[in-house]
Amino acid sequence: MQFLAVFDILQLSSSGSSQAIQPSPASPYTPSECCFSYIKSRLRLANLKGFYTTPKECFSPATV
């Protein structure tokens, strides 16, 4: 119920202006490109198809 009241207020305040409220752009790196946790287990080299290092903008450096 509170959400609807806030939404109505935002809608009313933006209807009087010429500019609409724009959502913020997506971050450059999505969770699929950054690691948020690690798994400590060995990987069989026979199963390895490829690997890459996560971008430097990620909080946790990793090789995936």
pLDDT for 31-44, tens place per residue?
677 888 888 888 88
**Which ranges in 1-64 belong to alpha helices (H)?**
2-15
Work out how many domains the chain is built from and give that number: 1
- Does residue 8 fall inside a structural domain? no
**Amino acid of residue 52:** Y
**Residues spanned by the domain of 37:** 30-64
CA distances from 58 to 21, 29, 61, 64 (A): 29, 8, 7, 13
> Does residue 16 lie in a domain region?
no
- Asked whether residue 2 is assigned to any structural domain, the reply reads no
> Is 10 within a domain?
no
Whole-model pTM? Answer: 0.41
In a domain, 46, yes or no: yes
Give 43-63 pLDDT, tens digit per residue. Answer: 888 988 888 888 888 888 888
